[in-house]
Amino acid sequence: MNSVINPATEEVIAEFPMADVAEAEAAIDRSKKAQREWASLSLNERRDGMLAIAAVVDANLEELARLESSDVGKPISDARGEVAMVANCFRYYAGVVDKILGETIPVDGGVDMTFREPMGVVAVISPWNFPLPIASWNIAPALAAGNSVIVKPADITTLSTRRFGELVATLNLPANLVQVICGPGRVVGRVLTSHPGVAKVSFTGSTATGQDVMRSAADTMKRITLELGGKSANVVFADADLDLAIKSAPGAVFGNTGQDCCARSRILVERKAFDDFVSGFVAATESLKIGDPADPETHLGPLVSRDHHSKVSSFITDDAVLAGQAPDGPGFWMAPRVVVDPDLTSRVVTDEIFGPIAAIIPFDSEEEAIRLANDTIYGLSGSIWTTDLGRAFRVARAMESGTLSVNSNSSVRLQTPFGGFKQSGFGRELGLEAINGYTELKNVFINTQA
């Protein structure tokens, strides 16, 4: 039996049995049949099916948001925004169903064209920090391209994805088109990453598990997309609109209590602006409200679990400045901390913490900023703050990162590709680019000389 714990109260809020190997295998068999049925529907039927998923998410937004908030400890206002994004994600990809284009290629002796064919059964393995949004970023393009989907949410945060699966099952879609299967990653996840009936695995999670997924998928040559960890840099030049950069920076590292793969946890600040930035950043962080996730005014909830709380606690050092006050009593609470000018080899600078701890590091030149920003095994996201347009482009092109923003700390838009360089993974989610990850490219040559 799996017990679901509310991280803000430590109370058990749900219990359900976990799936085993046999159930995962049966789900794969059912999914194959559903895929054939789905791919044979007309384009309009597939589009309308996806619009129906968007509509059922919208109609149940409040319930899904409350489940996500109580399961993850996420502030309810964030959870509402995320569920609204899930519905928009299905609407966006509903519009893509009849725009998956091939090419005609000039060749001698005939006509040559490409087609993007569905892959078959897609397994979506999702993490606990943004359970339903991240699942939807993969489910929606997979469906748009004519695949069926099996989703395995993280063991500790299953509620929103399970409910989503129940809601989709009420719609007039092929049976088992989207199945949600809850079970331990090492058991059920492994079945999905190794079974010959699964064509593609979209994995979002830690780099260590991503490596295991790659190894497990190798025997059957599965297609894989890996969205992994990050240690993103927020690079602030002295010529930036400093007020704006300071106002935006705490949310960019402490949002979701730091449990964000795009967290700008290394803040690089030009020395001329360093002291002003640090004092402004600490003051802005102190104004964040930490507390009951069900309160719409709350900015930061607890960490997701006791285990994760102890992992993040291991990064707390004596020189960390406390910026805020966590509630007493039950719950896995942690107030934000700021480490100023740390040793560049310390864990707080090199490791993905996935909690509310930020390192602020000074630099003296553009070259040094680029070198520091790239001095990591990761390359997921990052920001550049400057009013010099030439510098913005130079630094953006030089940073080894898949998803950058200038004078902004945003990372995710439904319309634009999202994913990492280096050990942050490969493949891209979202935008039209995601469709390439859910289709096989087929080339057909027609001899016109025969």
Residues that bind ligand NAD (CB under 6 A): 125-129, 134, 152-155, 185-186, 189-190, 193, 204-206, 209, 212-213, 227-230, 261, 352, 354, 380, 420, 424-425
Closer to ligand NAD by Cβ: residue 183 or 362: 183
Closer to ligand NAD by Cβ: residue 213 or 348: 213
Q: Please state the closest distance from residue 153 (CB atom) to ligand NAD, in A.
A: 6
Spot the catalytic one: 68, 82, 227, 352. 227
Instruction: Check if the beta carbon of residue 112 is closer than 8 Å to that of residue 437.
Output: no
Q: Please state the closest distance from residue 380 (CB atom) to ligand NAD, in A.
A: 5
Closer to ligand NAD by Cβ: residue 68 or 352: 352
Q: Please state the closest distance from residue 406 (CB atom) to ligand NAD, in A.
A: 21
Residue nearest ligand NAD, Cβ-based: 185
Q: Please state the closest distance from residue 347 (CB atom) to ligand NAD, in A.
A: 15
367 is known as an active-site residue: no
Q: Please state the closest distance from residue 305 (CB atom) to ligand NAD, in A.
A: 10
Q: Please state the closest distance from residue 138 (CB atom) to ligand NAD, in A.
A: 10
Closer to ligand NAD by Cβ: residue 143 or 217: 217
Closer to ligand NAD by Cβ: residue 73 or 189: 189
Sign of the torsion angle spanned by Cα atoms 150, 152, 158, 160: negative
Closer to ligand NAD by Cβ: residue 193 or 383: 193
Round to whole Å and give the CA distance between 153 and 170. Answer: 20
Report the catalytic residues: 227
